[in-house]
Amino acid sequence: MSPNRRFLFIGIILLSLFGTILTFIFHRDAPPVSALEIPQSTKDFFKNLSDLGHIKFDYVDSLDIGDFDNDNDYSGDFKKLEDENFIVYYRNKPEEASRAAKTLQYANQSIAPLTDFFGKYYYAKDVKNRKLPIYLALTESDFADISQELSGSTVEWAAGLTVNSFASNGDKLCNGIILNSTVRENEGSNLQTVVFHEMAHYNHFQCMNLLEKRDYMNWEVEGLASYFAKDWNKKIPSTAEMSQYSLLTDPDNYADSYWMGYHAFGLADKMGRLPQILQDSYSKSLIDAIPGHAGCSMSEYDDKWRNYCNQIIHLP
């Protein structure tokens, strides 16, 4: 073999080897192509949850990097108060500037406890330096208008609303958090509690592995945010009525999801197993995650939960 052919042969081998190494480096952690699709059961769950109006999810075929750019946020005629983590959009009206400042303060204060509670906090700035938008509605109609702009639909009354988008490959985006006009620092509401509740929705959704998790419960979503924010209103059915509820079945009335989930996680916390259950729940059903850490079947945990609720009913 001539020297030129030898060099060409060696060059081809080296290029092939280099290409193989690069392929390994960039794809060693990638799941198989067949797994890169959110299961239909997940899409159906979030569509149903979104239709209920307490939290919004929009399924899209894909999310472009431009979708994460704050320049594409709905900004309307808002004023802005921002730092490295958040942009608070508020109206140029009396007292709204101070409400915006408090909202920004509480949003930042939620980061450390969210990290402890969920095991990780997902900084929006990790994606193209995005800042998480928070909108302060001035009136009920303003709340509906902002919801329409962010999610494409209005919602029933809620103190706060978190609007999310997710794509078929598992990419996730929080379009923004909206706080209703009544959420202020006064005796009738607790601004910090609502901010913490909605921030829990944001971070919980970011924690979920949508490509793997197949089954969800309504009480999982609202109960977990309520437990984190400690905003349960102590409304539990009577002892006699408790027999009609089960963690194995979502309630007919969505509002029951709040107290059901609150105490389901409260029991796990009392047992000292909440962190482990949460970590497992991001990629599997809670119905599967709980037994592996609670030391009992889900049916037995359901009975323990019902007794736990009955004890709380009779507390002074």
pLDDT digit string, tens, across residues 55-87: 999 999 999 999 999 999 999 899 999 999 999
Q: Are strands 56-60 and 160-167 parallel, antiparallel or unpaired?
A: parallel
Helices (H), the chain: 3-27, 40-52, 96-109, 111-118, 140-151, 191-207, 218-229, 239-242, 256-270, 274-281, 286-294, 298-313
195 touches 171 (CB < 8 A): no
What pLDDT does residue 25 have? Answer: 44
More confident residue, 154 or 203: 203
pLDDT recorded at residue 15: 54
Is the distance from CB of 118 to CB of 225 less than 8 angstroms?
Answer: no
- pLDDT at residue 157, rounded to an integer: 81
CA distance 37 to 151: 23
pLDDT of residue 305: 95
CA nearest neighbour of 263 among 285, 235, 241: 235
Q: Is the pLDDT of residue 164 over 50?
A: yes
Domains of the chain: 34-207 (3.40.30.160), 218-313 (no CATH)
Q: What is the pTM of this model?
A: 0.86
Q: Is the model's pLDDT at 32 over the cut of 50?
A: no
Predicted pLDDT at 20: 47
Highest mean pLDDT among 128-137, 228-237, 249-258: 128-137
In the structure, what pLDDT confidence band is assigned to residue 143 with cuts at 50, 70 and 90? very high
Task: State the Cα–Cα distance between residues 19 and 252, nearest whole angstrom.
Answer: 56
Question: What's the CA gap between 172 and 63, in Å, rounded?
Answer: 8
**Residue 123, C-beta contacts closer than 8 angstroms, at least 6 positions apart:** 85
Query: What is the structure's pLDDT at 214?
Result: 86
Structure-model confidence comparison of residues 10 and 172, the more confident one: 172
Name the one residue in this structure whose structure tokens are 């081998």. Answer: 13
What is the average pLDDT across 133-139?
Answer: 96
What's the whole-number average pLDDT of the chain? 87
- CA pair distance 77, 91, nearest whole angstrom: 7
Please indicate whether residue 155 or residue 192 has the higher confidence score (pLDDT). 192
Flag the least confident range among 8-12, 64-68, 126-130, 164-168. Answer: 8-12
pLDDT above 60: residue 35: no
pLDDT tens per residue across span 91-124: 999 899 999 999 999 999 999 999 999 999 999 9
Determine the residue type at 7.
F
Burial of residue 256 (CB within 10 Å: 0-12, 13-18, 19+) is buried
